[in-house]
Amino acid sequence: MTDINRFYINGAWVAPQGTQTMPILNPATNRQIGMLMLGDAADVDRAVAAAKAAFESWGFTPKAERRAFLARLLAISEAREEEMAQAITAEMGAPITLSREQQAASGTGHLRAFLDAFDAMDEEETLPNGDIISYEPIGVCGLITPWNWPINQIALKVIPALATGNTCVLKPSEHTPLSARLYAEMIHEAGFPKGVFNLVFGDGPTVGSALSKHPDVAMMSFTGSTRAGISVTRNAAESIKRVALELGGKSPNIIFADADLEARVPEGVFECFSNTGQSCNAPTRMLVERSVYDRAVTLAAQAARSQAVGDPLKEGDHIGPLFDQIQYDRVQAMIQKGLDEGARLVVGGTGKPDGFETGWYVKPTLFADVTNDMDIAQQEIFGPVLVMIPFDSEDDAIAIANDTPFGLDAYVSTADEARALRVVRRLRAGGIHINGRATDYGSPFGGFKQSGNGREGGAHGLTEFYEVKVRPPFQA
């Protein structure tokens, strides 16, 4: 049992003011593996006060000194990466191979990319008219991160906030506290000045709201559901905070008839199912040109049937359980909704896979003959559920792809480069994958429409945390 009953505030581990607790559960076994103390508004006040005081010095620390702290954090992150992977597997059920190769690795991957971008970025420049722009920190930043990619999102917020001279208060998901506490330990080990980074555990309605409403917080950066992002934005509006949001998605995967079907279709299935479908940019809508649609359904069915489900502690490419019962119940309800809407169930369905009655495991599920007005094509399911939709032309594919309130990522497969570039230009999404290739660490990540605003990662992620000040050249 791992009990977490201390918050990291002003450079020390302190007892919270809040008195509520919640169990830390392992989603593969349904067993309690610890207990978490939850904070309240008084804990937020304490953390924000510490961050505000620290900003008076950290905000004016030379760039080279800030970089040195980040370099130490990188060395520590690399040394403790296996600890991070084990924590993520225990608290959210990610298979250990995925935790090592992607979940925990994202913390160090993003940090390396941020350091490269930081080195290339000047914090002052001269305009063609002779005026001078300086890029300066905003102040105290409130950071709220989700459970599905816990360290990926913590790194995408904490690192640029600190690099650019801001101080911060992190409220990670209360459901994944083990990885967040470990990250705070690494910050402490790197020797950052007290108050620069603060960690408060708590739920959204209590700690999240107190943080986003706090008058001394200058910026909120939030990743999570669109519903919660709206709440953060409303709370932040009271004090005219800057708000950056990374929200949900229902990403289209457009496959044209000239694409390598034998490669792209199974790849799309496995990409959708990866992390048990709990990724906001997963390609959950496979749009296939009608002339090859039947063949694609056959290939997708073969891939979906081959998708292994397994114990997260075992190495391999299998998927693990969903995160918790609430998520399990939602995914089950959406699968039933697809059946009720008349979609053709090809693989999977409701219930748990054979042999996995304990834990929040679900059957990898494939629906065909879906129309884009069905709920399973419009709503973010956040589970290993793929829907297949035929299209008749390039214009038809683009219209279906864009017919969604979301706009996070989109996927395109074709052998025709000119077509790929035409389609990419017309897709309303922040990130594009082409013929199975995604972007890398250091590129911006974020979406259009209800998938959010702002960008995370690399140089664009750094500039989110800067204010811009302009002045004329000095004249006596």
Please indicate, yes or no, if residue 391 is contained in any of the structural domains.
yes
Count structural domains, the chain: 2
Whether residue 208 is found in the same domain as residue 278: no
Q: Which domain holds residue 323?
A: 252-441
Whether residue 433 is found in the same domain as residue 306: yes
Whether residue 348 is found in the same domain as residue 219: no
Identify the bridge partners of residue 26 per DSSP, sorted by sequence position.
Answer: 31
The CATH number of the domain holding residue 73 is 3.40.605.10
Please indicate, yes or no, if residue 462 is contained in any of the structural domains.
yes
DSSP 343: P
Indicate the pTM of the whole model.
0.97
> In degrees rounded to 5, what are phi and psi of residue 164?
-85, 5
**Alpha-carbon distance 382 to 335, whole Å?**
11
Whether residue 193 is found in the same domain as residue 258: no
Please indicate, yes or no, if residue 179 is contained in any of the structural domains.
yes
Whether residue 186 is found in the same domain as residue 130: yes
Whether residue 164 is found in the same domain as residue 280: no
Is-catalytic flag, 101?
Answer: no
The CATH number of the domain holding residue 261 is 3.40.309.10
Whether residue 99 is found in the same domain as residue 226: yes
Please indicate, yes or no, if residue 476 is contained in any of the structural domains.
no
CA nearest 259: which of 215, 225, 292? 292
Whether residue 464 is found in the same domain as residue 410: no
Instruction: Confirm if 291 and 257 have CB atoms less than 8 A apart.
Output: yes
Whether residue 463 is found in the same domain as residue 396: no
Whether residue 298 is found in the same domain as residue 232: no
Please indicate, yes or no, if residue 463 is contained in any of the structural domains.
yes
Whether residue 118 is found in the same domain as residue 193: yes
DSSP 162: H
Whether residue 220 is found in the same domain as residue 87: yes
Q: Where are the beta strands (DSSP E) in 155-241?
A: 167-171, 197-199, 219-223
- Given the residues 246, 267, 271, 380, the one annotated as active site: 246
**Alpha-carbon distance 406 to 428, whole Å?**
9
Please indicate, yes or no, if residue 36 is contained in any of the structural domains.
yes
Print pLDDT tens along the chain (476 aa): 789 999 999 999 999 999 999 999 999 999 999 999 999 999 999 999 999 999 999 999 999 999 999 999 999 999 999 999 999 999 999 999 999 999 999 999 999 999 999 999 999 999 999 999 999 999 999 999 999 999 999 999 999 999 999 999 999 999 999 999 999 999 999 999 999 999 999 999 999 999 999 999 999 999 999 999 999 999 999 999 999 999 999 999 999 999 999 999 999 999 999 999 999 999 999 999 999 999 999 999 999 999 999 999 999 999 999 999 999 999 999 999 999 999 999 999 999 999 999 999 999 999 999 999 999 999 999 999 999 999 999 999 999 999 999 999 999 999 999 999 999 999 999 999 999 999 999 999 999 999 999 999 999 999 999 999 999 999 98
